[in-house]
Structure 1
Amino acid sequence: MPDLILPEPIAAYFAADTRSPEAVALCFSTDATVKDEGLTHTGVAAIKAWKAAASAQYTYTAQPLALERRDGFEVVTSRVVGNFPGSPVDLRYRFRLERGLIASLEIGA
């Protein structure tokens, strides 16, 4: 399977995902939103806190498998494997990009 080529902010997000909450937060615009597990996190500080909490609770890896462009969004299907109920799972990451950063991200099945 050929390597998946992701837009730079999305590639940076997945690369940062295994490093640190600070690295993840740098991928987002100042007023960005993340929707995950029924909650919305707005702003860089809230996104950093969301990532820190998720990283403290679970250990996981995410491998992007596919990219589609739909209605102004970049939708990445990723296989997520870790120590959480239901692992492994394929999740959809719905990104909206603005000026080279992530403006919004919705994560769901």
Structure 2
Amino acid sequence: MSLSLPEPITAYFAAEHDPAALARCFTAQAVMKDDDHTYVGIDAIQAFMAEASAKYGATTVPFALEHDDGAHVVRAEVTGNFPGSPIDLTYRFRLERGLVASLEIAA
């Protein structure tokens, strides 16, 4: 099954091991929530993503897309070096001007 995602979301998943490319997916004031932490701004998001990529080496495969209250909600299987791998996670994206304005990742 082929999943058709909006371009900013496709770019986000394509760049999962390239923190500089990931940073280009976000607005300057973007907010990202993951693992009970909130990261505000590109520098904070990029630093978190670089650390997570190095630590977990996770690979993400999106398999479902829904729309909810203006958000793009993507379900994805994530496999990596962490307890419980693989796991299905929910990525809730809000887009602005072709970039990710907010992203919330939850189990």
Common fold by TM > 0.5: yes
1:88 to 86, 89, 98: 86
Q: Which runs of 4+ in 1 moved over 6 A?
A: none
Indicate the residue corresponding to 1:53 in structure 2.
Answer: 51
1: CA distance, partners of 2:9 / 2:103: 10
Do 2:8 and 2:99's aligned partners in 1 also have CA atoms closer than 8 Å? yes
1: CA distance, partners of 2:95 / 2:53: 24
The runs of 5 or more residues in structure 2 that have no matched partner are none
The runs of 5 or more residues in structure 1 that have no matched partner are none
Normalised to the residue count of structure 2, the TM-score between the two structures is 0.98
1:42-97 Cα offsets, whole Å, 9 max, x none, are 00000100101101211110000000000010000000011111100000000000
| SS of equivalent to 1:46 | helix
Q: Percent identity?
A: 60
CA-based RMSD of the aligned residues comes to 0.6
2:76 to 61, 75, 78: 78
Is 1:101 equivalent to 2:99 in the alignment?
yes
Do 2:57 and 2:80's aligned partners in 1 also have CA atoms closer than 8 Å? yes
Say how many residue pairs are matched.
107
Normalised to the residue count of structure 1, the TM-score between the two structures is 0.96
